[in-house]
Protein backbone atom coordinates (compact mmCIF):
# COMPACT_ATOMS: atom_id res chain seq x y z
CA UNK A 1 0.00 0.00 0.00
CA UNK A 2 2.92 2.34 0.67
CA UNK A 3 4.20 1.94 -2.87
CA UNK A 4 0.79 2.82 -4.28
CA UNK A 5 0.59 5.90 -2.04
CA UNK A 6 4.03 6.99 -3.21
CA UNK A 7 2.95 6.44 -6.82
CA UNK A 8 -0.11 8.67 -6.34
CA UNK A 9 1.59 11.49 -4.46
CA UNK A 10 5.05 11.68 -5.97
CA UNK A 11 4.14 11.44 -9.62
CA UNK A 12 2.12 13.78 -11.74
CA UNK A 13 -0.80 11.40 -11.95
CA UNK A 14 -3.37 13.73 -10.38
CA UNK A 15 -2.02 16.72 -12.32
CA UNK A 16 -2.38 14.80 -15.57
CA UNK A 17 -5.91 13.60 -14.72
CA UNK A 18 -7.02 17.14 -13.86
CA UNK A 19 -5.49 18.44 -17.09
CA UNK A 20 -7.39 15.86 -19.16
CA UNK A 21 -10.71 16.63 -17.43
CA UNK A 22 -10.33 20.41 -17.73
CA UNK A 23 -9.03 20.13 -21.30
CA UNK A 24 -12.01 18.06 -22.38
CA UNK A 25 -14.47 20.51 -20.82
CA UNK A 26 -12.68 23.47 -22.40
CA UNK A 27 -12.79 21.69 -25.75
CA UNK A 28 -16.59 21.67 -25.49
CA UNK A 29 -16.54 25.43 -24.82
CA UNK A 30 -14.40 26.05 -27.89
CA UNK A 31 -16.56 23.79 -30.06
CA UNK A 32 -19.81 25.51 -29.08
CA UNK A 33 -18.23 28.95 -29.46
CA UNK A 34 -17.12 28.03 -32.97
CA UNK A 35 -20.61 26.75 -33.78
CA UNK A 36 -22.08 30.01 -32.54
CA UNK A 37 -19.71 32.10 -34.65
CA UNK A 38 -20.24 30.05 -37.77
CA UNK A 39 -24.03 29.74 -37.62
CA UNK A 40 -25.19 29.04 -41.17
CA UNK A 41 -27.53 31.49 -42.87
CA UNK A 42 -30.85 29.69 -43.59
CA UNK A 43 -33.51 30.79 -46.05
CA UNK A 44 -35.39 33.17 -43.76
CA UNK A 45 -34.20 35.75 -41.27
CA UNK A 46 -36.29 34.33 -38.44
CA UNK A 47 -34.62 30.93 -38.85
CA UNK A 48 -31.20 32.60 -38.74
CA UNK A 49 -31.87 34.32 -35.42
CA UNK A 50 -33.32 31.10 -34.06
CA UNK A 51 -30.12 29.25 -35.01
CA UNK A 52 -27.93 31.99 -33.52
CA UNK A 53 -29.91 32.00 -30.27
CA UNK A 54 -29.71 28.21 -30.02
CA UNK A 55 -25.99 28.29 -30.71
CA UNK A 56 -25.44 31.05 -28.17
CA UNK A 57 -27.50 29.12 -25.62
CA UNK A 58 -25.36 26.04 -26.20
CA UNK A 59 -22.23 28.17 -25.77
CA UNK A 60 -23.49 29.65 -22.47
CA UNK A 61 -24.40 26.15 -21.32
CA UNK A 62 -20.88 24.91 -22.11
CA UNK A 63 -19.31 27.87 -20.25
CA UNK A 64 -21.46 27.31 -17.16
CA UNK A 65 -20.75 23.57 -17.27
CA UNK A 66 -17.03 24.28 -17.55
CA UNK A 67 -17.04 26.62 -14.54
CA UNK A 68 -19.02 24.14 -12.44
CA UNK A 69 -16.76 21.25 -13.46
CA UNK A 70 -13.63 23.29 -12.72
CA UNK A 71 -14.97 24.20 -9.26
CA UNK A 72 -15.85 20.58 -8.48
CA UNK A 73 -12.45 19.33 -9.62
CA UNK A 74 -10.67 22.03 -7.63
CA UNK A 75 -12.58 21.57 -4.38
CA UNK A 76 -13.01 17.79 -4.50
CA UNK A 77 -9.74 16.68 -6.13
CA UNK A 78 -7.02 19.33 -6.12
CA UNK A 79 -7.48 20.73 -2.59
CA UNK A 80 -7.60 17.31 -0.84
CA UNK A 81 -4.68 16.11 -2.97
CA UNK A 82 -2.52 19.08 -1.97
CA UNK A 83 -3.38 18.59 1.72
CA UNK A 84 -2.67 14.86 1.59
CA UNK A 85 0.57 15.40 -0.31
CA UNK A 86 1.74 17.94 2.28
CA UNK A 87 0.80 15.53 5.07
CA UNK A 88 2.64 12.52 3.66
CA UNK A 89 5.49 14.35 1.92
CA UNK A 90 6.09 17.68 3.69
CA UNK A 91 7.99 20.40 1.89
CA UNK A 92 11.59 20.86 2.97
CA UNK A 93 12.21 23.84 5.24
CA UNK A 94 13.20 27.00 3.40
CA UNK A 95 16.90 27.70 3.31
CA UNK A 96 19.72 28.65 1.03
CA UNK A 97 20.69 26.28 -1.76
CA UNK A 98 23.97 24.44 -1.42
CA UNK A 99 25.69 26.38 -4.21
CA UNK A 100 24.84 29.72 -2.59
CA UNK A 101 26.14 28.47 0.76
CA UNK A 102 29.37 27.28 -0.90
CA UNK A 103 29.86 30.66 -2.58
CA UNK A 104 29.34 32.40 0.77
CA UNK A 105 32.01 30.20 2.37
CA UNK A 106 34.44 31.01 -0.45
CA UNK A 107 33.67 34.73 -0.11
CA UNK A 108 34.16 34.64 3.66
CA UNK A 109 37.46 32.79 3.35
CA UNK A 110 38.72 35.33 0.78
CA UNK A 111 37.65 38.29 2.91
CA UNK A 112 39.15 36.76 6.04
CA UNK A 113 42.55 36.32 4.38
CA UNK A 114 42.69 32.58 4.97
CA UNK A 115 43.42 31.78 1.32
CA UNK A 116 46.90 30.94 0.03
CA UNK A 117 48.33 32.78 -2.93
Cβ(29)–Cβ(63) below 8 Å: yes
Distance CA(98)–CA(104), nearest Å, equals 10
CA atoms within 13 A on the CB side of 25: 19
Cβ(51)–Cβ(77) below 8 Å: no
Percentage of the chain with pLDDT > 90? 28
Q: What is the pTM of this model?
A: 0.63
With a cut of 90, say whether residue 63 has pLDDT above it: yes
Cβ(6)–Cβ(35) below 8 Å: no
The residue-averaged pLDDT of 62-90 equals 91
Q: What is the CA radius of gyration of the chain?
A: 28
Distance CA(51)–CA(42), nearest Å, equals 9
Q: Is 8 helix (H, G, I), strand (E, B) or coil?
A: helix
- More confident of the two residues 24 and 54: 24
21 pLDDT band, cuts 50/70/90, is very high
What local confidence, expressed as pLDDT, does residue 75 receive?
Answer: 96
Q: Is 86 helix (H, G, I), strand (E, B) or coil?
A: helix
Cα of first residue to Cα of last residue in the chain, in angstroms, is: 58
Amino acid sequence: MTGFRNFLFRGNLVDLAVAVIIGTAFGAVVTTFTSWLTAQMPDSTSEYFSNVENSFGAFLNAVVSFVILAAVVYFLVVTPYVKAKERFFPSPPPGTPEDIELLRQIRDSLVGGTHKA
